[in-house]
Amino acid sequence: MRKIVLWMSVSIDGFFEGPARDISCHLVDEELHSYVNDELRSMGAFLEGRVTHELMAA
């Protein structure tokens, strides 16, 4: 049986994004970027919302 994994970035005070969809509070350094890519590489499919899809497509 396959697993469904939910992966979300949330600040300690519970924010996903700031005003006007500002996501600068999410600080992604090289170590985190490499870790996330390694985790995602093993997954077979991704389910994204419209906004995330549009950001990733760009």
Residue 54 CA to residue 1 CA, distance in Å, equals 30
For residue range 6-45, list pLDDT tens digits in order: 877 787 888 888 888 888 877 888 998 899 889 888 888 8
Residue 7 sits at the vertex; the CA angle it makes with 16 and 53, to the nearest 5 degrees, is: 75
Q: What average pLDDT does range 44-51 have in this prediction?
A: 84
Residue 23 has a CB neighbour count (10 Å cut-off) of 12
Residue 17 sits at the vertex; the CA angle it makes with 12 and 22, to the nearest 5 degrees, is: 130
pLDDT (0 to 100) of residue 34: 94
What b/e sequence results for 1-21 when a residue is b if at least 16 CB atoms lie within 10 Å of its CB, and e otherwise?
eeeeeeeeeeeeeeeeeeeee
